[in-house]
Amino acid sequence: MRIAVIVATYNRPDALAALLNGYKNQDDPDFEVIIADDGSTAEVRQLVESYARHTPFPLTHLWHEDRGFRATVMRNRGLAATRADYVIYTDADCVPPRDFVRQHRRLAEPGYFLSGNRTLLSERFTARVLRQHLPLYDWGLPRWLGAWMSRDINRWLPLLRLPDGAWRRREPDRWKGVKTCNLSAWRKDLIAVNGFDESYAGIWGLEDSDLAIRLLLAGIKYKSARFAAPVFHLWHKEADRSGFAENQRLLDDLIASRRTYAKLGVDQYL
């Protein structure tokens, strides 16, 4: 099974470097990484070019002009650019543990998409991680417990590993809480629902819920990757929510229509 990791990024090269170091050290090296760049400056391109010379996996940089939040566009372009069987979506501020790709591969199942959880790092701890280039992907549970006791992270429970089982499928229609910082699905299923809806442009929020709902309406069920494939989410300022009401309107319209195909989706790039 060929896997592509599609990473949404925007003008945060230090966080992107931490993420790429995490993928360089995966215990499953059989995947590609596509950087879906929402209009960053040349510094990000130079960073990716530098890493591409020594990563053990194919590394591609896709870019478009900065015209506000258009991560849905770049996620679709990343989907169109790969021929992998299976796609993992994440964000550039989410460092993966060493077994992240392997766990998504292990849990992947026909007829399901996966969503994992995250552990949030504090502002102070994030600054230290980036300054000292701390290898979070290699940390074990005792060290994370110490970080939690120091209030460097918000919770440690997501870092536990639980075996696969029927409990992972007990909420097959769940979409609330699904986030594209840690989501995976079969490429053919993503293409069938036309990928992300680019109507969610200019303002952050709910584009991941829109995708999850359309997958569910198309018969692709939710399977939990919690307690198997977490990510370490680096601190950043809260996104602008001034236009959130419009995105909520789009989501409400989708739920009412029960439409599965994105109005403005990946078919533009195929």
Q: Which one is the CATH code of 3-268: 3.10.20.30, 3.90.550.10, 1.10.3300.10, 2.60.120.330? A: 3.90.550.10
Task: Summarize the confidence of residues 157-169 as an average pLDDT.
Answer: 94
Residue 27 — very low, low, confident or very high, per pLDDT cuts 50/70/90?
Answer: very high
Mutual angle of helices 207-217 and 244-257, in 10-degree steps: 0
pLDDT at 240 over 70: no
* CA–CA gap between residue 96 and residue 78 (Å, rounded): 19
Give tens-digit pLDDT for 57-75.
999 999 999 988 899 999 9
Q: In terms of DSSP H, where are the helices of the chain?
A: 13-24, 42-52, 71-81, 100-107, 123-132, 141-149, 187-192, 207-217, 244-257
Give tens-digit pLDDT for 202-220.
777 899 999 999 999 999 9
- Domain ranges in the chain are 3-268
Give tens-digit pLDDT for 10-23.
999 999 999 999 99
Give tens-digit pLDDT for 76-128.
999 999 999 999 999 999 999 999 999 999 999 999 999 999 999 999 999 99
